[in-house]
């Protein structure tokens, strides 16, 4: 995830500071403090700073020398590594093709108008592929790995890259002007998600515009609130006295596909769309402060009252939810499943436990916020899709507490449990879910360093938590296992649920990787000695587990200034003697982050989403100044003078066919 740029003064890049200072006032311990205390109790710390950091955070099997790892078979991944760097295009491992499948503005229906960057309309955008593609999912049709539905989130918009004439130089400074109502309407149509039929023909993927399931979901699509919050007074507005209908979905970052084949859209940084003020004594004032509402980054409140707190004070409570879409019915009403809590959701990846319950893992992507999971009350029925369609309305939400001794607990976020009572302002489960963050504060959950994707691995039984970074970590938190003030490069945590049961309420945890350049001892990165100068990375964000159980990690925040490389997709060994070995498979053009990634069931295609390409250039010698519509750092993927940069989804396949990285 990368939060949108400021719409008032340009440029204000927020790649590193993607989520402000954090809005968690609790005294709960941070993950850095937990790691420090845990490993200071072990007597592993020996030798140099780099060696001590590795010994403190990686299991002994990951400390094998390169020779030992090679003798034991080495990495589970086989491909020629890409060279890390920064330039205007994308790069994939030798022996592979990376074909652009869908670009912003591409047609999705037979009647979709051709993309015209200089004459955009909201009506056209609603029939075209949206902006800033993030999550990518694949739902097979008739069980096929070569014919299915691609589902893609459109997280946010970059108007300075989208619209000509918006950026001007004033008194030597580059500023972004106010958007017109027409441009705001285009932004709304560019948000949401895409459902589109795709087919592999002669080894290449193609969009099927006449696909009967094709659909655009936008910021103006009608949605239903379901679960415990539906109908509550705190979600009622002048437009919806019932508290059950919401117009649109916002800032859909990562997501998921359920075992029964529905599409999950996760609402993340909804706070940026709201403007206006509440009275200090308003009943929602403390709630909104905990979520950073309002930020006022968008101009939407200038044209639509529902985004103005002074006019619709309950509207923000209708965002920050997990949205479920029935892709097999293009006329269906998407449902905001409130039982999974209200946070800045990165995604919602799921797995069926042995007892048949379905477990969803959730990250709240802000500095010092929490990791969650949701366990359905009902049992998944693989033979009756209809029986599963409301599983997400009942179940138990948990928040994670990580302990110094390497154990952890999942604490129930349930009304009446512990401090979640009327005495603390929670009159019902609806109140608990509307204020999920405050509930986590009171329960004593562990403050994390921007938890993003949380991915269960059905092959090895582990769960992987991407912690992108936390540059607000204070100097007094520096220690051998966490040896830097300002955690600029992030962690990956590995969880083992007790008994291998994904529904368990306790487990164990390890640090799989502490990211950054291992050649700089002060960074304390913990990649294995097999990892090359191209293989290390910072800022883990999204991830995927392929059918063989191998972990793939995409990143958000690598750039020439921070790392001397763009973001990309890395293959990361999690098991055996090559554990913590990482290899670069694909890299994006300047200014972009890599989202997705997603593997088809046969592991013969990897879909990746290149988001906000060209959003930057100041720190790259190839451009050396801010990038905007008239002066772009790259014109990827078309490379035409009359075409702006276009976020796109690519399909990566092995030349000649076969499984990826085998």
Tell me what pLDDT residue 580 has. Answer: 97
| Residue 303 forms part of a structural domain | no
Say how far apart CA 204 and CA 576 lie, in whole Å: 34
Q: What average pLDDT does range 34-54 have in this prediction?
A: 40
Tell me what pLDDT residue 560 has. Answer: 83
Burial of 501 (0-12, 13-18, 19+ CB in 10 A): middle
For the ranges 72-81, 242-251, 396-405, 425-434, the lowest mean pLDDT is seen at 72-81
For the ranges 286-300, 467-481, 585-599, the lowest mean pLDDT is seen at 467-481
Q: Number of folded domains in the chain?
A: 1
Say how far apart CA 569 and CA 312 lie, in whole Å: 42
Q: What are phi and psi of 213, to 5 degrees?
A: -100, 0
Q: Which residues pair with 265 in a beta bridge?
A: 255, 323
**Torsion angle (degrees, nearest 10) of CA 143, 149, 154, 159:** 150
Nearest Cα to 552, choosing from 634, 466, 433? Answer: 466
| Residue 1 forms part of a structural domain | no
For all residues of the chain together, what is the average pLDDT? 90
DSSP secondary structure code for residue 564 in this structure: S
Structure tokens at 38: 């845990």
Q: How confident is the model at residue 84 (pLDDT cuts 50, 70, 90)?
A: very high
Q: How confident is the model at residue 470 (pLDDT cuts 50, 70, 90)?
A: confident
Whether 429 shows a pLDDT value over 50: the answer reads yes
Q: What average pLDDT does range 585-611 have in this prediction?
A: 98
| Residue 536 forms part of a structural domain | yes
Say how far apart CA 609 and CA 632 lie, in whole Å: 20
Residues with Cβ within 8 Å of residue 228, at least 6 apart in sequence: 338, 339, 428, 429, 430, 433
| Residue 387 forms part of a structural domain | yes
Whether 113 shows a pLDDT value over 50: the answer reads yes
| Residue 233 forms part of a structural domain | yes
Whether 482 shows a pLDDT value over 60: the answer reads no
Element (H, E) at 70: helix 66-71
Whether 654 shows a pLDDT value over 60: the answer reads yes
pLDDT in tens, 542-565: 999 999 999 999 999 998 888 999
Structure tokens at 368: 């010092």
Whether 633 shows a pLDDT value over 90: the answer reads yes
Say how far apart CA 414 and CA 613 lie, in whole Å: 42
Say how far apart CA 228 and CA 232 lie, in whole Å: 8
Q: How confident is the model at residue 487 (pLDDT cuts 50, 70, 90)?
A: confident
Whether 169 shows a pLDDT value over 80: the answer reads no
| Residue 590 forms part of a structural domain | yes
**CATH, residue 342:** 2.120.10.30
DSSP codes joined into one string, 632-654: -S--TTT--TTS----EEEEEEE
Tell me what pLDDT residue 653 has. Answer: 98
Q: Is the peptide bond before 637 cis (omega within 30 degrees of 0)?
A: yes
Kindly state the percentage of the chain with pLDDT values over 70.
Answer: 88
Q: What average pLDDT does range 158-184 have in this prediction?
A: 90
pLDDT in tens, 191-224: 999 999 999 999 999 999 999 999 999 999 999 9
Whether 493 shows a pLDDT value over 60: the answer reads yes
Tell me what pLDDT residue 162 has. Answer: 98
- Cα 204–205–206 angle (5° rounding)? 120
pLDDT in tens, 123-163: 999 999 999 999 999 999 999 999 999 999 999 999 999 99
Kindly state the percentage of the chain with pLDDT values over 90.
Answer: 81
Q: How confident is the model at residue 31 (pLDDT cuts 50, 70, 90)?
A: low
Q: Are 265 and 153 in contact (CB under 8 A)?
A: yes
pLDDT in tens, 500-530: 999 999 999 999 999 999 999 888 899 999 9
| Residue 369 forms part of a structural domain | yes
Q: How confident is the model at residue 66 (pLDDT cuts 50, 70, 90)?
A: very low
Whether 11 shows a pLDDT value over 60: the answer reads no
Over its C-alpha atoms, the chain yields an Rg (Å, rounded) of 23
Q: What average pLDDT does range 455-472 have in this prediction?
A: 94
Tell me what pLDDT residue 430 has. Answer: 98
Say how far apart CA 614 and CA 212 lie, in whole Å: 34
Say how far apart CA 507 and CA 403 lie, in whole Å: 10
Say how far apart CA 318 and CA 96 lie, in whole Å: 44
Residues with Cβ within 8 Å of residue 288, at least 6 apart in sequence: 278, 294, 309, 316
**Torsion angle (degrees, nearest 10) of CA 563, 567, 573, 579:** 20
Tell me what pLDDT residue 404 has. Answer: 86
Structure tokens at 609: 């989403």
- pTM for this model (two decimals): 0.92
Say how far apart CA 148 and CA 138 lie, in whole Å: 7
Tell me what pLDDT residue 52 has. Answer: 34
Tell me what pLDDT residue 436 has. Answer: 98
- DSSP SS3 for 402: strand
Structure tokens at 474: 């204070």
Sheet with 407-412: strands ordered across: 349-352, 358-363, 371-376, 395-402, 407-412, 506-514, 491-497, 462-467, 451-456
For the ranges 14-23, 433-442, 568-577, 619-628, the lowest mean pLDDT is seen at 14-23
Tell me what pLDDT residue 384 has. Answer: 98
Tell me what pLDDT residue 50 has. Answer: 33
Q: How confident is the model at residue 25 (pLDDT cuts 50, 70, 90)?
A: confident
Whether 476 shows a pLDDT value over 90: the answer reads no
| Residue 502 forms part of a structural domain | yes
Tell me what pLDDT residue 519 has. Answer: 93
Q: What average pLDDT does range 14-20 have in this prediction?
A: 44
For the ranges 50-59, 262-271, 541-550, 600-609, the lowest mean pLDDT is seen at 50-59
Burial of 555 (0-12, 13-18, 19+ CB in 10 A): buried
**Residue ranges of the alpha helices (H) in 120-273?**
122-125, 159-162, 181-190
Whether 275 shows a pLDDT value over 80: the answer reads yes
CB atoms within 10 A of CB 130: 30
Say how far apart CA 202 and CA 36 lie, in whole Å: 54
Q: How confident is the model at residue 325 (pLDDT cuts 50, 70, 90)?
A: very high
Whether 15 shows a pLDDT value over 80: the answer reads no
Could you tell me the residue range of the domain that residue 230 belongs to? 31-268+320-654
Residue with the two structure tokens 């051709």: 114
Q: What are phi and psi of 523, to 5 degrees?
A: -70, -35
């Amino acid at each position: 995830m990368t939060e949108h740029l400021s719409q008032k003064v340009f440029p204000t890049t927020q790649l590193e500071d993607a989520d402000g200072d954090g809005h968690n006032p609790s005294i709960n311990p941070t993950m850095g403090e937990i790691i420090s205390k845990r490993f200071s109790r072990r007597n592993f710390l020996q030798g140099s700073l780099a060696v001590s950091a590795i010994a403190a955070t990686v299991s002994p099997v990951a400390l094998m020398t390169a020779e030992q790892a090679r003798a034991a078979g080495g990495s589970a991944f086989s491909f020629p590594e890409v060279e890390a760097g920064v330039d205007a295009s994308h790069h994939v491992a030798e022996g592979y093709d990376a074909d652009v499948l869908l670009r912003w503005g591409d047609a999705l229906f037979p009647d979709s108008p051709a993309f015209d960057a200089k004459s955009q309309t909201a009506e056209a955008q609603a029939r075209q592929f949206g902006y800033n593609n993030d999550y990518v999912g694949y739902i097979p049709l008739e069980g096929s790995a070569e014919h299915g539905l691609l589902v893609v989130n459109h997280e946010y918009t970059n108007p300075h890259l989208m619209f000509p004439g918006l950026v001007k130089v004033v008194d030597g400074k580059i500023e972004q002007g106010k958007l017109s109502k027409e441009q705001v309407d285009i932004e709304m149509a560019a948000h949401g998600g895409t459902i589109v039929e795709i087919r592999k023909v002669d080894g290449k993927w193609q969009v099927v515009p006449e696909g009967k399931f094709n659909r655009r979901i936008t910021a103006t699509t009608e949605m239903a609130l379901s679960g415990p919050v539906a109908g509550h007074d705190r979600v009622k507005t002048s437009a919806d006295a019932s508290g059950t209908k919401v117009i649109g979905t916002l800032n859909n970052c990562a997501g998921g596909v359920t075992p029964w084949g529905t599409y999950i859209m996760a609402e993340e940084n909804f706070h940026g769309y709201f403007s206006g003020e509440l009275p200090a004594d308003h009943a929602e004032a403390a709630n909104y402060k905990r979520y950073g509402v309002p930020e006022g980054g968008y101009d939407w409140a200038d044209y639509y009252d529902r985004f103005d707190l002074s006019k619709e004070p309950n509207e923000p409570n209708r965002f920050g939810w997990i949205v479920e879409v029935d892709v097999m019915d293009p006329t269906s009403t998407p449902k905001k499943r409130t039982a999974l809590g209200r946070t800045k959701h990165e995604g919602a990846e799921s797995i069926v436990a042995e007892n048949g319950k379905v477990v969803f893992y959730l990250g709240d992507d802000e500095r010092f916020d929490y990791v969650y999971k949701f366990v359905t009350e009902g049992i998944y029925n693989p033979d009756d899709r209809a029986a599963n369609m409301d599983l997400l309305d009942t179940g138990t939400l948990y928040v994670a507490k990580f302990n110094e001794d390497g154990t952890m607990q999942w604490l129930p976020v349930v009304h009446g449990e512990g401090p979640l009572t009327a005495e603390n302002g929670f009159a019902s489960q609806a109140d608990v879910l509307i204020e999920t963050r405050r509930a986590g504060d009171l329960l004593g959950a562990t403050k994390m360093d921007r938890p993003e994707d949380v991915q269960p691995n059905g092959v090895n039984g582990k769960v992987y938590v991407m912690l992108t970074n936390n540059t607000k970590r204070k100097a007094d938190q520096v220690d051998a296992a966490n040896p830097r003030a300002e955690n600029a490069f992030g962690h990956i945590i590995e969880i083992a649920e007790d008994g291998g049961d994904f529904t368990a309420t306790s487990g164990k945890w390890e640090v799989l990787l502490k990211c950054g350049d291992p050649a700089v001892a002060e960074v304390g990165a913990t990649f294995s000695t097999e990892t090359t100068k191209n293989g290390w990375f910072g800022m883990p964000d999204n991830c995927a587990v392929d059918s063989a159980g191998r972990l793939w990690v995409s990143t958000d925040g690598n750039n020439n200034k921070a790392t001397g490389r763009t973001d990309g997709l890395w293959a990361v060994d999690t098991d055996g003697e090559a554990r913590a070995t990482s290899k670069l498979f694909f890299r994006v053009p300047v200014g972009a982050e890599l989202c997705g990634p997603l593997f088809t069931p046969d592991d013969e295609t990897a879909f990746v989403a290149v988001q906000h390409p060209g959003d930057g250039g100041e720190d790259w010698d190839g451009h050396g100044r801010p990038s905007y519509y008239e002066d772009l750092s790259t014109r990827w993927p078309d490379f035409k003078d009359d075409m702006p940069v276009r976020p796109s989804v690519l399909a990566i396949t092995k030349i000649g066919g076969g499984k990826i990285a085998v």
